[in-house]
Structure 1
Amino acid sequence: MRNSMKRSVVTALALLLSAWVLLSCQKDSSGDAANPSTEPDRKALLTQWADSVVKPGYKGFNDKFSVLKTKTTAFTAAPTTATLTEARQAWQQAYVEWQKVEMFEFGPAETVSLRNHFNIYPTDVAGINRNISAGTYNFELATAIPQQGFPALDYLLNGVAADDAAIVQQYASSEKHRRYLTDVVNKMSETFGTVYSQWNGSYRDTFVNNTGTDASSSLSRVVNAYSLYYERFLRAGKVGIPAGTMTGTPLPDKIEAVYYKGTLPLQLATTAHAAVQQFFNGRTGRPSLRAYLDALGAKDSRTNQSLTSLIDAQLKTSYQQLNSLGPDLYTTMRSRNADAVASYNEMQKAVRMIKVDMTSAMSITVTYVDNDGD
């Protein structure tokens, strides 16, 4: 009898314990349903970037660059003022399109140092002329970085002689000039082709599935590339250095497309800035940097206001200031230098928000070093 009662008590305790565990699990489950995680969907953001930003951007550039290759080939095959004009127009259009994708220096582009092969300026004219005379050169050498890409084409198509007739004559009479122009374009085609094919191959999935926030993650690489591009290559490269903000002396010869001049240098700069703004804001209802930061409730460190609203407003202000430097950026750097410095200063205001507050809110470590001295 005593043993029977003992077993009954043990059984009752076991049943009570089971009921308590079940009830606890139900409470936890209902709590999760009522308070779902607010962590932004990083994979959705990476997918949006890959499929709706990077790949279409590269396709647009590839289309323009293909025309450039065709037109330069036609020019070197038969140098005339007509073929020169067509090659030059194709160069302008491809150069403008490049501004929309240059910030994508991550993944395959970072691996092959795409920017180094495409847009380091001012170009090394003395080095280019030595290469042409020697007939031998290696575009992979560090010293050859400023002897290739769009800035080299600027010199080769616009500055190699005094006027169009002289440029045509130079190419008609010099096989070495024709070869160098061809080799510059072919090197660009080869380097970009590697990047383009990888994005259209397996790298897309690698990028999308690398969803962490550590330094090797896709998110970290994109955010660092974006911040670096805005700070060093847009703010400093396109405006600050030629405006003399680092030296105290205007250096207008350091702008992009310095041999072509006219309205093109400013068009390159404003196109690049617009691309930066578009990348930040994205499309309404789609994943973007702005939507990601809003989901995190990101605040400005100085004002405690919405970080995305302040970044968007500052980018708009800096674009307007940049656009006001027209129509001829080269002339503005010389005669209205204070306006160019003011443009740089407006961009600098956005640097802090992007490089400090945005990366902090996203738990991203800045992996590059600003070396422009400010």
Structure 2
Amino acid sequence: MWKIRDFLTKPMEGKSVQYNIVRKFLMTAFSSIVLMILGILILSLLMSEGLNSDFLVRALGFDFFSPSYFIVLILIIIIGCLSSLVVTYIIGVPVGRSLKNQLQAIRDANEKLSRGKLEYRLNVKGYMELEEISEQFNRMAQRTEKQVESLQRLINENKELMEGAEEAASSEERRKIARELHDAISQQLFAISTTVSATSKMIDNKPEEAKKYFTVIEKMVSNAQQELRALIMHLRPVNLENHSLKDGIQKLLDELDLKHENITIHTDLNNIEGLTPGIENNVFRVTQEAISNILRHSKASSFSIKLFQKDKVLTLMIEDNGIGIESSDSKKSSYGMATMRERIEEMGGRFDVISFPNKGTRIEVRVPVGVQSIFKS
């Protein structure tokens, strides 16, 4: 019985959706016609002249040849219609459910691919059109996976070239740091010098007011010191010195915690397996640049950093509670943001920045990793 039901409800593999739907419709119509024919044959047999009216009265409990036989006819028609509905439900519902499940599988596959799960493959059987979509999806996923592998291979093979390019660009970096020193530290030192000079003249005549200026001077010195430390962090070497990405970031944060007692750091770092040196160095450099921006521009009292891997995708999240990226700071931060974005996109990843004035800034980095073991150093 179940084999007959499967034959009626399951789609024929290699056939089109239109073919299978027409096939189910014809089966339903055929079943309805058969039931109606059986009802008519029974009615004709009962109404044949060879049967005795008394026999029918005894068998059925009423005179079939009276006008009430039309009631029997109507009942047979109703039974036939109900039987048709039952057959339609038995055949149609599994067909619709099967088609819905296969379409849902295609939708889920697209969602997984968009989230970076490049190794996922689709296996849809039953309808010719859906099988073709499944094959095309798998070919597209395979091409995408190979492209990401190629990008990561190039990053790994060109690591030395990238280091050489950074060395060649060091002069430009030094000029940039010189400008920042002039714009930030130099101006702050000049302001401190001016304030100290004015305060020294007020000590004898207005000692109480001079004390207030000493507090201002102390704060200005602290800000200048923090700015200088952030610039020093920005100038640190890029490589991890044989440390893993997690250990390198933790070491960086430990040093930061000792030097910046006025900022709270929350960490959630996990080991990431299968990273190439190129990916590790680039992600570490982005982390370093992001923390430097927090110290120099955000005026944050705390920030958090998370590092984890899910579905072969490395995720780095850095969030602070500072002033956000305002329009006045956009030019100052655009260069650093563009550099970080370029580093991540070169590895086939995504770099997103979410910021609102006085509500902090969040940086999200996602990079596909561990596609093939041959890309390990």
Does TM-score exceed 0.5, indicating one fold?
Answer: no
More helix by share: 1
More strand by share: 2
TM value normalised by structure 1: 0.29
TM value normalised by structure 2: 0.29
- Pick 1 or 2: higher relative contact order, CA cutoff 8 A, min separation 6: 1
Which is greater in Rg? 2
